[in-house]
Copies of this chain bind each other. A is one copy, B any other.
Amino acid sequence: MTSILIIGGAGMIGAKLARRLAADGNLDGKAVTSLTLADIAAPPLVAAPFRVDARPVDLAADGAAAALVASRPDVIFHLAAVLSAESETDLDKGYRVNIDGTRALFDAIRHIGDGYRPRVVFSSSIAVYGAPFPPSIGDEFFETPLTSYGTAKAIGELFLADYSRRGFLDGVGIRLPTICVRPGKPNKAASSFFSGIIREPLAGQEAVLPVAETVRHWHASPKAAVGFLMHAGAMDTASLGDRRNLNMPGVSETVGGQIAALSKVAGDSVAARIRREPDPFIQKIVSGWAENFDAHRALSLGFTADRDFEEIIRIHIADELGGTWVK
């Protein structure tokens, strides 16, 4: 019997997680009894074999976090964030939502007290790391973010670990690879083009590539990301000790390799829909991002990644395009 709260439930991953929970009816074998979806605007409901409600919430607003956790959900997925490009152009907004909102949530949980100690899954990001990097980033590499988004995620991780250590909550922070392929429209993340160069060509549209093909980056499919969240929501945290934040496993690939995978899966004519148009603003942000990880610890804890970039493309075609694409 598990009650679940998803903050950021209107986002792409939050919505997919909600649909997965609705389809499964349980989290790791425990029946889900209720699901609350919260976001800055109330998320759409999902059909499920349990009660689902949707609520608008601004976590950083006075009393909002307390109202949200008053029903004492057993598992809280905190996925809400102002994304990287917007956090860079609007420092105050990014810090307010990504730092103050996260701290307000954790404090609201703490102030319930009375033995309440929910599992809290915090979606962090590989943006906590900043160049220069070793060829493969290990589990004990230091966090020197080069964006205000990454800074806020690193701070959220520190709060999560300290509140877990003090027994106020049972946190698992997962540093998600850049999710690819994101369905829908481009978003305000600087990484948006990584999905665009696969998604738009498969839909018969031109895509803009703002960086060089030599850029290497670290990816996971939406399906893999939902798998990470489900595992983090149910795993035994005793083995984590006080080190609550983990690099998730992923696929390391260059943009050139991603385009080659697209050609192989969907044909050269599809890959030919990518237009090179360098953008110094995006190039500068991306040049500070991690390229490859040795996610040893997460793998040993049972998290599993996509096999390769071709699988990432095939998951998009299967889950979003009904198995076909515009030739």
Number of interface residues of A (CB under 8 A): 22
**With A151-B158, A158-B151, A159-B151 given, is the CB distance from A91 to B142 under 8 Å?**
no
- Mask: chain A, 142-162; 1 = CB below 8 Å from B; 0 = not: 111110100100110011011
Q: Beyond A130-B242, A155-B155, is A148–B161 a contact (Cβ under 8 Å)?
A: no
Contact assessment for B144 and A142 in the assembled complex, using a CB-CB cutoff below 8 Å: no
Min C-beta distance of A99 to chain B, whole Å = 9
Report whether B142 and A158 are in contact in the complex, using a CB–CB cutoff of 8 Å.
Answer: no
Q: In the complex, are the beta carbons of B158 and A145 less than 8 A apart?
A: yes
Assess the A140–B141 pair: CB atoms within 8 A: yes
Whether the Cβ atoms of A243 and B145 lie closer than 8 Å is no
Q: Kindly list chain B residues whose C-beta atoms are within 8 Å of the C-beta of A158.
A: 143, 145, 151, 154-155, 158
**A72 in the interface (beta carbon within 8 A):** no
Pick from B91, B146, B243: contact of A242, CB below 8 A: B146
In the complex, chain B residues whose CB is within 8 Å of the CB of A242: 130, 144, 146
In the complex, A307 has a CB within 8 A of chain B: no
> CB-CB contacts of A75-111 with B at 8 A, as 1s and 0s?
0000000000000000100000000000000000000
Q: Is A185 an interface residue (CB 8 A)?
A: no
Give CA–CA (A91, B168) in the complex, Å: 12
Name the B residues within 8 Å of A162 (CB-CB).
Answer: 145, 148, 151
Can you list 8 A-B contacts (CB < 8 A)? A130-B242, A143-B143, A144-B243, A145-B161, A146-B165, A146-B242, A148-B166, A155-B158
18 new A-B contacts at CB < 8 Å, known A142-B142, A146-B165, A151-B161: A130-B242, A130-B243, A139-B142, A140-B141, A140-B142, A141-B142, A142-B143, A143-B158, A144-B161, A144-B242, A144-B243, A145-B162, A146-B242, A148-B166, A151-B158, A151-B159, A151-B162, A155-B155
- Give the 6 A-B residue pairs with the shortest CB-CB distance, closest first: A151-B162, A140-B142, A142-B142, A151-B158, A144-B243, A155-B155
Please list the residues of chain A having a beta carbon within 8 angstroms of any beta carbon in chain B: 91, 130, 139-146, 148, 151, 154-155, 158-159, 161-162, 165-166, 242-243
